[in-house]
Amino acid sequence: MPFQPPPHKEIQAPTAAMVVIGNEILSGKVVDKNSPLLAKLLRAVGVDLRMIVTVPDHMAEIGRWTAECAGRFDWVFTSGGVGPTHDDITYQAIAQGFGVPLAAHPRVIDILKAHYPDPLSQAHLQMAELPQGADVVELPGQRFPTVRFRNVYILPGVPELFQDRIQAIQKTLTGVPLVLKQVYLNVREVDIAQPLRRVDENHPAVVIGSYPQSESGKPRLKLTLEATQAAQVQAALDDLLAAFAAQGVQPVDVV
């Protein structure tokens, strides 16, 4: 019988995507720190991050991917390209991708005037040119507001600034918190592949992940079981531990 891949499982929760923008990321000159942070913070509030795409500083690519993700997911978070330099084109690219013009946002201009000498330079004014219809979300402790266009949060790429804004945004997001159990084993994946597959098939509401690790050259395996209901996770865990016991496999730890 040919190999049959297991059915794809999805947690029923609000969804999100991330568009990471920058030639520096694709060239390896800068390491992306923002997507791991976003993944952790969204998971903590029960928002399911389904896609991360990295694009260059290219107008059409930024606009196309942002618009496509906005049509597929509940929330989109972009990272990068919102400063005053020649390669900061994210606002313009998103406006083109959605087919709307850029428009000077009065509140952003007021905020810039409060922090920079008048008259504002062209570089300052560039940061106030937002996709028409964009909102600015003023969050406590932030000098510059967070820009939101429809279901897209347009965020800076500097990790410290990104973290500051996404931590504030996180408090406004409502998702479906997940219940998580983790099982640690000193075995190889191939040793438990068959019972793991059976348990996965018998518990369609539980997402089971298998992650090989290495510790002092010895095989080590981390399994995760996730669902929105504690009873579902516990039932899958009980079946898994029983299946392992039948094979003489003893977990190192269950947390």
- Strand ranges in the chain using DSSP code E only, listed in sequence order: 15-21, 48-55, 75-79, 102-104, 129-131, 135-137, 146-149, 152-155, 179-185, 207-215, 218-227, 253-254
Task: Give the single-character DSSP code of 99.
Answer: T
Kindly state the tokens that stand for 98.
């959605």
Do residues 183 and 115 both lie within one domain? no
How many alpha carbons fall within 13 Å on the CB side of residue 235?
A: 14
Q: Last residue of some domain: 170, 197, 219?
A: 170
Q: Which phi and psi angles does 19 have, rounded to 5°? A: -115, 110
Answer yes or no: do 190 and 148 share one domain. Answer: no
Structure token pair of residue 122 = 């062209």
Residue 144 included in any domain: yes
| Contact criterion met (CB below 8 Å) for 42 and 173 | yes
- How many structural domains does the chain have? 2
Q: Is the pLDDT of residue 77 over 70?
A: yes
- What would the pLDDT profile of 130-151 be if each residue is shown by its tens digit? 999 999 988 777 778 899 999 9
In a domain? residue 1 = no
**Helix, coil or strand: residue 113:** helix
Mean pLDDT of 148-166: 96
Q: 115 and 64 in one domain?
A: yes
Q: Is 137 helix (H, G, I), strand (E, B) or coil?
A: strand
- The string over 2-14, giving b where at least 16 C-beta atoms fall within 10 Å of a residue's C-beta and e elsewhere, is eeeeeeeeebebb
Q: What mean pLDDT is reported for the chain? A: 91
Q: What is the Cα–Cα distance from 153 to 159, expressed in whole angstroms?
A: 15
How much is the pTM? 0.88
Does one domain contain both 103 and 222?
Answer: no
Residue 6 pLDDT grade (very low, low, confident, very high; cuts 50, 70, 90): low
Tokens of 103: 């428009």
| Candidate from 42-46, 122-126, 222-226 with smallest mean pLDDT | 122-126
What CATH number corresponds to the domain at position 244? 3.30.70.1130
DSSP 102-117: EEE-HHHHHHHHHHSP
Write down which residue in 125, 145, 170 finishes a domain. Answer: 170
CATH number for 145 = 3.40.980.10
Last-in-domain residue among 170, 194, 221 = 170
How far is 58 from 63, CA to CA, in rounded Å? 9
- Asked if residue 244 and residue 147 are part of one domain, the reply reads no
pLDDT at 214: 73
| Contact of 1 with 35, CB cutoff 8 Å | no
How many CB atoms lie under 10 A from the CB of residue 117?
Answer: 8
Note whether residue 8 is domain-resident: no
> Are residues 95 and 215 both part of a single domain?
no
151 and 71 in a common domain: yes
Collapsing DSSP states into helix, strand and coil, what is residue 53?
strand
113 contacts 129 by C-beta, under 8 angstroms: no
The verdict on 238 and 153 lying in the same domain is no
Confidence of residue 119 (pLDDT cuts 50, 70, 90): confident
Is residue 103 included in any domain, yes or no?
Answer: yes
Question: 151 lies in a domain?
Answer: yes
SS3 4: coil
Domain span at 239: 179-254
Instruction: Provide the β-strand partners of residue 148.
Output: 135, 153
Query: Same structural domain for residues 42 and 146?
Result: yes
